[in-house]
Amino acid sequence: MQAILAQPEHCEALGDALTRAFANDPLCSHVFPDRERRLRKMRWIYVHWLRLFIARRVVYTTTELSGAALWHQPEQGFDIGVWEQVQAGFLPVLFLLCPAEHMRGFRAHHDAVARMKQFVNKPHWVLDTLGVSPEYHRKGVARTMLQPVLDQADAAGIPCFVNTHNSVNVPFYRRLGFEIIHESLMPGSDITVYSFCRSPQPNHQG
């Protein structure tokens, strides 16, 4: 298994992989309570989100296209402009979701960005999305996809940051050197959000 930079032609397959990865995720279930609608809408969103991030050259997958890791680069920050969304074909999402889904999704996104801005006050690699298709779980896929950026971060002395809305992810991030710096409920929900930071590890061996 090898980590590779995702290409535009991978978006459909990786959109499928991320949809399967997050089919029962607490946050996605909160935004889209109906499972059938959740899977359909999530796939469209992930395909276009991947297009946006691949244009920034910060999406790693594997040769098997078993999942994806989407990163914000330190010099770019994590605000995404309207023009970037237009180029990725993302704006039809305005008409794709019902008002309640828009509201829940907006609140979740606003909360995630607010946490980033609260804790990321100097250049960081920020992990936006990490998902592995269920058939590839427990095979080292997630770690493989993250390792190229973790190695770059260590070499440059730059920290990494991530939020997760799923408690099952906590041990995994801790094994990679991430430490919880904050945890609290996402407003308007019973979902605990864990914010992690990973300090650069000069002696890390990739």
Q: Domain of 20: which CATH number?
A: 3.40.630.30
pTM of the full predicted structure? 0.91
Give residue 121's pLDDT band: very low, low, confident or very high (50, 70, 90): confident
Domain coverage including residue 93: 3-198
Within 10 A of 8 (CB to CB), how many other CB atoms are there?
10
Give residue 206's pLDDT band: very low, low, confident or very high (50, 70, 90): very low
In this model, does residue 60 exceed pLDDT 80? yes
**Within-domain flag for 75:** yes
**Within-domain flag for 205:** no
* Residues whose CB falls within 8 Å of the CB of residue 97, separated by 6 or more in sequence, listed in order: 41, 105
The pLDDT of residue 204 is 53
Taking only the tens place, the pLDDT of each residue in 32-41 is 999 999 999 9
| % of the chain beyond a pLDDT of 90 | 79
SS3 176: coil
**Within-domain flag for 180:** yes
**Within-domain flag for 191:** yes
Residue 105: closest CA among 119, 118, 90, 120: 90
The pLDDT of residue 6 is 97
Measured between alpha carbons, how far is 111 from 9 in angstroms, rounded to an integer?
Answer: 32
The pLDDT of residue 176 is 97
The CA-based angle 32-34-36, given to 5 degrees, is: 105
Measured between alpha carbons, how far is 206 from 200 in angstroms, rounded to an integer?
Answer: 13
The pLDDT of residue 203 is 67
Mean pLDDT of 53-78: 90
The CA dihedral of 51, 58, 74, 125, to the nearest 10 degrees, is: 110
SS3 73: coil
In this model, does residue 81 exceed pLDDT 90? no
Q: How many domains is the chain built from?
A: 1
